[in-house]
Amino acid sequence: MADEAPQTKFLLEESALPRRWYNIQSDMPSPAQPPLHPGTGEPVGPDALTPLFPMELILQEVSQEAEIPIPDAVLDIYRLWRPTPLYRAHRLEQALSTRSRIFYKYEGVSPAGSHKPNTAVAQAYYNKEEGRTRLATETGAGQWGSALAFACRLLGLECKVYMVRISYDQKPFRRSLMQTWGATVVASPSDETQSGRAILEEHPDSPGSLGIAISEAVEDAAGRDDTAYSLGSVLNHVLLHQTVIGQEALAQMELAGAFPDVVIGCFGGGSNFAGLSFPFLREKIAGREIDVLACEPAACPTLTRGTFTYDFGDTGKLTPLMPMHTLGHDFIPAPIHAGGLRYHGAAPLVSQLVRDGLVRAEAYLQNDVFASAVLFAGNEGIVPAPEAAHAIHGALETAKAADEAGEQRTILFNLSGHGHFDMAAYDNYFAGDLEDVSLEQEEIERTLGALAGLPTPA
């Protein structure tokens, strides 16, 4: 009978949209260590950051308040797509013949197709409030750039995007999307900045990397009074803005009458992972048992094979030194198709949580990830972004391990975006052209060598 059919979607009313962001800094057992000025080795004060960021975001970066109110103007824009749905993956469970229950939170319903607008809108809002008229940023796969282009368009700001060369070539329609929202997009490394020109001189065919594109965007913003820099991941305030995801998911799991044993997100810089997991980590820190898993590519295994130390956030060494897991700021990941996961560093907050044993990480090869993505699409319908497919693969591996151990687990993962602009990657996978890149230890040791002489965290 219809009313006995198992429920698939768990939806919240608009009135249930979270009104506050959750700040995990108030609950962390060991506080995150401060960013340092590379010249002096001293903690970076707010004044050093004002050329790049509005004061409100600088204050959020260091805030110890547990909750920070979301401005009404930001909530008004969130309402265009939030609250996002939470699904029970019944068909996938059946296909796997698993005893476990699998849930996913779907962030691909945003206008840009991923979780990234959750922070893009907030950042554009605070910049506008403080008088900036233009934002400069980098983008990997184009998801972040399109999210910021969308947010700037709605709030009336100009937007300049430095897009990693390999994605610029692989994903021309992401570029068109950014242009539709009024942004100016150039391939990075570009000849428009000193950092870009320096790389091009040495490597004219450089595929680019997030580290290089960040240098270009920071240089652009630092050189103009009307422009601020906007980062789509890694920083504390970015992770903070994403916590609407996990807060909604907590309420939706309650609607489903379930609570996750395992919470999973893919990991690039850490924002979608943090967005889902931080509100659950609040419960874990308070004593609940939850396994929290970050899934990264074997071609860029920052959390699983990097070192926790102070490093620059960019290749051109323009940013403060961040305490984080890193493969070294010179590391240029192989051009895998999950462009948004090709970052040498990691969010300092997540790095600290890994260090404290509250979060663990696994790394996967891209052919395995695409196989899981295709299995997921064939059962749940949604074609995932290659980045998000890492979380799917993590969920499938978790369910498999539980079945092998004769256990039943409740698994929740973040489906951070759809893959409608990533079909060339799927074509390559079907053609058998995807390379499985697993890094040599020597290469990691070489790029970590660039960290000699930098301070080490306590």
Site for ligand PLP in 197-256 (CB under 6 A): 233
Question: By CB under 6 A, what part of segment 414-453 binds ligand PLP?
Answer: 416-417
Task: Give the distance from CA 24 to its chain's centroid.
Answer: 16
Considering the complex, state which of residue 248 and residue 387 has its C-beta at the smaller distance from ligand PLP.
387
Which residue in 329, 364, 326, 318 sits closest to 348, CA to CA?
A: 326
Sole window of 176-184, 248-256, 269-277, 365-373 interacting with ligand PLP (rule: CB under 6 A): 269-277
**Smallest distance from ligand PLP to CB 444, Å:** 20
If the CB atoms of residues 137 and 252 are measured against ligand PLP, the closer one turns out to be 137
Cβ pair 415, 392 in contact under 8 A: yes
DSSP codes, 165-218? HHHHHH-HHHHHHHHHTT-EEEEES-TTSHHHHHHHHH-TT----HHHHHHHHH
Q: How many amino acids of this chain bind ligand PLP (CB under 6 A)?
A: 21
3-state secondary structure of 309: strand
Cis amide leading into 83 (omega within 30) = yes
Between 98 and 168, CB nearer to ligand PLP:
168
Question: Which is nearest to 96 in space by CA: 376, 371, 388?
Answer: 376
Q: Given candidates 34, 117, 270, 333, which one binds ligand PLP under the rule CB under 6 A?
A: 270
Residue 387 binds to ligand PLP (criterion: CB under 6 A): yes
- Which residue lies nearer to ligand PLP by CB, 144 or 308? 144
CB-nearer residue toward ligand PLP: 324 or 341: 341
Residue type, 1: M
| 257: CB partners within 8 A, 6+ apart | none
By beta-carbon proximity to ligand PLP, the closer residue of 173 and 259 is: 173
Q: Assess 164 for contact with ligand PLP (CB under 6 A).
A: no
Binding track over 111-150 against ligand PLP, x by CB under 6 A: ---x-------------------------xx-xx------
The one among 177, 178, 385, 425 contacting ligand PLP by CB under 6 A: 385
Q: Which is nearer to ligand PLP, 25 or 98 (CB)?
A: 25
Angle CA 443–294–218, to nearest 5: 65
d(CA 451, CA 61): 25
Strand partners, 417: 114
Residue from the set 23, 118, 252, 271 that interacts with ligand PLP by CB under 6 A: 271
Instruction: Name the minimum Å distance from CB 413 to ligand PLP.
Output: 12
Q: How far apart are CA 88 and CA 352, in angstroms?
A: 31
Residue 269 within binding range of ligand PLP, rule CB under 6 A: yes
Number of H helices, E strands in the chain: 19, 15
Of 134 and 241, nearer to ligand PLP (C-beta) is 241
Cα separation values, 188 from 93, 143, 170, 200, 407, Å? 42, 15, 13, 9, 48
For residue 316, state whether it binds ligand PLP (rule: CB under 6 A): no
Name the minimum Å distance from CB 188 to ligand PLP.
14
Angle between helices 210-222 and 194-202 (to 10 degrees): 150
Quick one: 216 or 387, whose CB is closer to ligand PLP?
387
Half-sphere exposure (Cβ direction) of 394: Cα atoms closer than 13 Å: 32
**Position closest to ligand PLP via CB:** 340
Choose the binding region for ligand PLP from 2-10, 18-26, 271-279, 441-449 (rule: CB under 6 A). Answer: 271-279
Minimum Å gap between C-beta 385 and ligand PLP is 4
Task: State which residue, 96 or 141, has the beta carbon closest to ligand PLP.
Answer: 141
340 binds ligand PLP (CB under 6 A): yes
Rounded CA separation 392/374 (Å): 10
d(CA 161, CA 229): 10
- Using CB under 6 A, list all residues that contact ligand PLP: 114, 140-141, 143-144, 233, 266-273, 340-341, 385, 387-388, 416-417
